[in-house]
Structure 1
Amino acid sequence: MARKVRVVRTQLPAGRRVLAISDAHGNLPFFQGALKAAHYTPDDVLVLVGDLVEKGPDSLTMLRAVMELAQQNTVFCLNGNCDNLVREFVEEPGAVEDPFYDHYLKVWGERCLLIQMGRAAGLDPRGPEDLPALRRVIREHFAPELAFLAAMPEIMITPDYLFVHGGVADEEQLEGLDAWRCMKNDDFLSQGHSFRRWCIVGHWPVTLYHPHVPSAAPLLLPDRHIASIDGGCSLKWDGQLNVLELPQTPGGAFHWYAYDGLPTAVALDGQAPSVDSVNVRWGRNVLEVLERGERLSRCRHLETGRELEVLNEYLYHDQDGVTRCEDSTDYCLEIAPGDTVSVVRQLPDRALVKKNGVTGWYFGRLSEKR
C-alpha cells in the first residue's frame, strides 16, 4: 500500500534569516562550501529540501554531520526520494523488489549510502544474496541514523512557503497525498501549477529546464510562486549546490549563493554572448558523431539537428549502445575583462567556464587558475 504524505505545519522563527538547500546528494565538501558561501551562522534557519544523501561520496558522513548540526541549530529536514531509499530498504522489505536494490548498488557502488553503511559495519555486499545481511547490519548498527531519516516529513508548510522535494499540484489539498509522488515528481515546472505561497522544490536539476543556455542557478518564477533550486550537485560535471535565501518580508527579493568546487580564474579578454545556442541535457542527449577530434568531436544533436563540438570525455554509450553525452552546449558566455569564472575544462584554444551559474565556452585568455 502506498504510504501517505507526512505534512508539518509550522511558523518560521521571526527575525531570522532562512536558507533553503536541496539535493546535496552526499557531498559534504559542497555542503560545507555552500554554507560558507552563504555566510551561514547558528542564528540562521536552515531548510534542507530533500535528497540529503545518495549518489555522492560522503552520504554517511554527511548524514551524521547534519544530525549533529540539527542538534545545535535550527534545521528542518525534508524527505526526498533518495533519502527514502534506506528507510524503505530496511523497514519495508518487499515494497520494492530486491533486484532493484541489487541493480542500484551495482550502478552507484561507493556512492550508495547502503554500501557505505554496510562497509562501516564490516559487511561488503557483493550481490543479491547479501541483501538480507545488509538489512540486518543496518538495523543493528545505525538506529540513530534510521530514526533521523524516518522522522523527516515530505512537506513543510508555513503561512508564506511550501517546501517539498518533488512538488505538489495543490497547496490546499496536501494530507492524503501519495508520499512518493511528492518526493519524485519529474519535470515539475512543466506541469503548469501555480501557488499562493512560494513553493520551494528541488529534485529536478534546473539546467534540464533550459533548452538553449545551461544554467544551474535557482529558477525563480514570480508569476507562479515557484522556486526550483537543484543545481545538479554530485550529478553534473559542472553542477553546484545552491543556497536560496528567503526574503526577510513576504514579497521581498530572493538572494542565492552557490558552491561548485571548481578552480577559478580571471578573464583577461571580453567576449560577446551567443545569440543562438543549444543546451544538450540529460534525457534529450542522443548524438551522432560526425568527426572525431583529439579533445572535441563534431556531433549532431538528433533532437534539434544542431551540430556542435562535444568534449570526448563527455561522450558515452547507454545500455542499448546509443551514443549520448553529458550535458553539453555550444553557448559562448558573455565575459568582461576582469570577470572571475569557474573553470570546468581547459583546452589549448578555449575553456568551458561558468559565470553566475551559467556554463559556456570562452575563447579569451585566462589568468592562472586558483
Structure 2
Amino acid sequence: MDRSVKSKPFTLNKGQRLIAISDIHGSLGLLRQLLAKVRYVPVEDVLVLAGDLIEKGPQSLATLRYIMELSAHPNVHVLMGNCDFVCKNIWNRYNLQFLHQMLLQRQASILHEMAAALQVTIDAHTDMEALCTLLHQHYARELSWVDTLPQVVYDDAHIFAHAGIMNEQDFGSDFREVMTYPHFLLHAPEFHRWVIVGHMPVSEYCHDIARFHPLVDERRHIISIDGGNGVKHAGQLNALILQDEMISWRSVDELPLCHAARDVDPANHDPLFITWRESAIRILHKGASADYCEHLASGRKLWIDHAFIHEGKDHQLCADDFTSYQMPLCRGERVYLVRRYARFSLIKKAGILGWCRNADLCP
C-alpha cells in the first residue's frame, strides 16, 4: 500500500466563509443540526470535514452517504481520519487480523452496520477475506470513495489535517503521521499558515478547567477543533468559522437542557481536570461514595466520586474526565446536564464542564 500523504489544494476567496468540522463519528443528526445552526450555504461557503466522519456513533453508514452527497459540491473538501481507515482496510484487504480484533471490541462501526444490513454478524469466527469480498460486492461505492480521500487539504493560508502535520512543505512522509499524531498541540512548532486539526479532544489540553470549544493558539498558528463528540460524556460537535481575519465557532450536543434555579458564586481554589493522558491516581482513603485520592501527575489530593474511578492499563487506577471545578451560575441561565449524581450534577455551560448542587437546577 502507498503510505505517502495525499493532499489536495482548495481555493478560498476574500470574504468567503470557511466552515470546518471534525470528528463527526457517525452523528448524522448532530451534523445536520450544526450545519443548520451555522446557516451553511453550499454555493457560498467552503466546507471542510476534517476526518473521523464515522465510527463510535449510531449512524455511520447514513452519515457517510450524507457526506458523499455534500461532497458533490466543489466547495466541499473531505479528509480521511484514523477512524475512517476501516473502509480502506476492507477495500484494500489490509491488516485484516488487526481489523478483526478491533471489530470484536467496537460494535459501533460502519462495518457492523454494512454486515448487519446483509444479515451477517461479525464475530470471532468471521472469515475476514470472505467479509471483504461480500462488502466489495454491496458497498463498492462507499468503500472506494473513502479509499480515495486525501489526508490533507490546504490553501495559501490554511492547512487542514485530521491529527497534525510534520512540516508545512510535504506535511509528512507517512499517512499515519497526519491521521494519528498524538497530542499535536503539546509538541508542534510555530507555523506560518494556520494549521487546523481535530483527533484529540480539546479538553485533553486542559488541566484546570475542562473546555470543549475550539482552542486557538495564535502564536503557533494552530487551532484544535475536536469537541469530544462521541468520545466524551460532555462532548460536543464544533464548527470552526473562518472569514478573512475573523475566527468564530458554533457547537451542538445531545445533552438535556436545564436552567439555573438560583445564583451561585462558588469559591474555586486551583481547580483540577484529569485528562486521559494523566489519569493515574492512588487511593489514600476510601469513602462511602467517593475516595480521597492523589492525582499522580500533579501530586494534588482530592475527593473523587466512585463513578470516575476505574482500572486502566497494567491495573493502574485511573479517574479520567474528573473535574473539581464548581460552576458559577446566574438564575435562569441555560446549562446542559452531563450526569446527575446523588447530591450533585455535572453540567456544561458555554462549553465549560463543572459541578453544581442538584438543588441549583430546574427544568
TM-score (norm 2): 0.92
Contact in 2 for aligned 1:218/1:229 (Cα 8 Å): yes
* Structure 1 runs not aligned, ≥5 long: none
In structure 1, distance between residues paired with 2:255 and 2:29: 12
**Distance apart, 1:14 and its partner CA:** 4.8
CA displacement, residues 151-170 of structure 1 (integer Å, 9 cap, x when unaligned)? 21011110111111111132
**Distance apart, 1:303 and its partner CA:** 2.5
Aligned pair partner of 1:259 in 252, 262, 265: 252
Equivalent position amino acid for 2:257 in 1: T
**Distance apart, 1:117 and its partner CA:** 1.5
User: What residue is the counterpart of 1:127 in the other structure?
Assistant: 124
Contact in 1 for aligned 2:87/2:147 (Cα 8 Å): no
Q: Does structure 1 residue 65 correspond to structure 2 residue 66?
A: yes
Equivalent position amino acid for 1:209 in 2: Y
In structure 1, distance between residues paired with 2:14 and 2:93: 39
Contact in 1 for aligned 2:89/2:96 (Cα 8 Å): no
CA displacement, residues 128-169 of structure 1 (integer Å, 9 cap, x when unaligned)? 543122211111111111122022101111011111111113
Q: Does structure 1 residue 361 correspond to structure 2 residue 355?
A: yes
User: What residue is the counterpart of 2:186 in the other structure?
Assistant: 190
Contact in 2 for aligned 1:265/1:341 (Cα 8 Å): yes
In structure 2, distance between residues paired with 1:182 and 1:257: 25
Equivalent position amino acid for 1:254 in 2: I
CA displacement, residues 209-228 of structure 1 (integer Å, 9 cap, x when unaligned)? 11121111111001111000
**Distance apart, 1:21 and its partner CA:** 0.4
Contact in 2 for aligned 1:186/1:204 (Cα 8 Å): yes
User: What residue is the counterpart of 1:239 in the other structure?
Assistant: 235
User: What residue is the counterpart of 2:56 in the other structure?
Assistant: 55
Contact in 2 for aligned 1:49/1:77 (Cα 8 Å): yes
Query: Closer, same or farther in 2 for the Cα pair 1:6/1:206, shift >3 Å?
Result: same
Contact in 2 for aligned 1:244/1:256 (Cα 8 Å): yes
**Distance apart, 1:299 and its partner CA:** 3.3
Deviant stretches of 4+, over 6 Å? none
Deviates more, 1:301-310 or 1:187-196: 301-310
Within 5 A, what are the aligned runs for 1:88-167?
88-93=89-94, 96=95, 98=97, 100-109=98-107, 111-127=108-124, 129-167=126-164
3-state DSSP class of the match of 2:106? helix
In structure 1, distance between residues paired with 2:162 and 2:85: 12
**Distance apart, 1:195 and its partner CA:** 1.1
Q: Does structure 1 residue 282 correspond to structure 2 residue 276?
A: yes
CA displacement, residues 217-249 of structure 1 (integer Å, 9 cap, x when unaligned)? 111001111000011110011111111001x21
**Distance apart, 1:4 and its partner CA:** 0.3
In structure 2, distance between residues paired with 1:5 and 1:123: 34
Query: Closer, same or farther in 2 for the Cα pair 1:362/1:66, shift >3 Å?
Result: same
In structure 2, distance between residues paired with 1:89 and 1:148: 12
User: What residue is the counterpart of 2:301 in the other structure?
Assistant: 307
Within 5 A, what are the aligned runs for 1:308-347?
308-318=302-312, 320-347=314-341
CA displacement, residues 250-271 of structure 1 (integer Å, 9 cap, x when unaligned)? xx22111111210122222132
Equivalent position amino acid for 2:228 in 1: G
In structure 1, distance between residues paired with 2:358 and 2:307: 23
TM-score (norm 1): 0.90
* Structure 2 runs not aligned, ≥5 long: none
User: What residue is the counterpart of 1:229 in the other structure?
Assistant: 225
Equivalent position amino acid for 2:173 in 1: L
In structure 1, distance between residues paired with 2:196 and 2:58: 26
CA RMSD of aligned residues (A): 2.1
In structure 1, distance between residues paired with 2:246 and 2:15: 16
Equivalent position amino acid for 1:34 in 2: L
Contact in 2 for aligned 1:205/1:229 (Cα 8 Å): yes
In structure 1, distance between residues paired with 2:344 and 2:271: 17
3-state DSSP class of the match of 1:71? coil
3-state DSSP class of the match of 1:328? coil
Number of aligned pairs?
Answer: 360
Contact in 2 for aligned 1:271/1:364 (Cα 8 Å): no
Q: Does structure 1 residue 293 correspond to structure 2 residue 291?
A: no
3-state DSSP class of the match of 1:18? strand
3-state DSSP class of the match of 2:304? strand
Contact in 1 for aligned 2:166/2:178 (Cα 8 Å): no
User: What residue is the counterpart of 2:202 in the other structure?
Assistant: 206
